[in-house]
Homo-oligomer: A and B are copies of this chain.
Amino acid sequence: MRSHTAYMTFETNARRELIRITEQVQAAVEEAEIEEGMALVSAMHITAGVWVNDDEPGLHEDVLEWLDKIAPPSWTPATGDVASELLPEGGDYRHHRGGEDNGDAHLKNLLVHHQAIVPVTAGRLDLGPWQQVFYCEFDGGRPKRLVIKAIGE
């Protein structure tokens, strides 16, 4: 079994941004000299994710808007009975009590998931015709790392 580890660092200008990294993952697989196996692509931060989907700019705007609806930057009261009982003091995310302002980015990490695994067949990422790998930044403006771990033979 061969293995190879590569790291990438991102520093986005925007707070929330999707960055295509399919080519970098393929390059890591080639450095690994793996014909058959898997490449794990995993954000090393808790406010970022990895998504495999379409490289269509309108969709990316839709996704960032929709994630803001589901995991809003400002805490909002629940409409349901059970969640309403869990009201935090001050009407803000509890995570913000220590001075943080990125509670929503942690929730977006949960929704998107922080990692994906790409199968490798005959030395190539075995993706469908529209599948591209994206690093999803939810709290940018500072250096953040991602690890690619390829195993196989």
Contacts and interface: CB of A to CB of B under 8 A. Distances in A.
Interface of A: 1, 3, 5, 36-38, 40, 42-46, 51-54, 56-59, 61-66, 68-76, 78-83, 86, 88, 93-98, 103, 106-107, 109-117, 119-121, 126-128, 130-131, 145, 147, 149, 151-153
A71 B66 contact: yes
Contacts of A63: 106-107, 110
Contacts of A126: 5, 44, 147, 149
Contact of A82 (B38, B68, B107): B68
15 contacts: A1-B1, A5-B36, A5-B121, A42-B117, A44-B128, A45-B128, A46-B53, A56-B98, A62-B88, A63-B106, A65-B88, A68-B82, A70-B70, A76-B80, A151-B151
A95 B65 CA distance: 12
A79 B119 CA distance: 39
Nearest to A95: B59
A61 B94 contact: yes
B37 A151 contact: yes
A3 B88 contact: no
Given A1-B153, A37-B151, A38-B149, 6 more contacts: A38-B40, A59-B94, A59-B103, A110-B111, A113-B113, A115-B116
Contacts of A38: 40, 149, 151
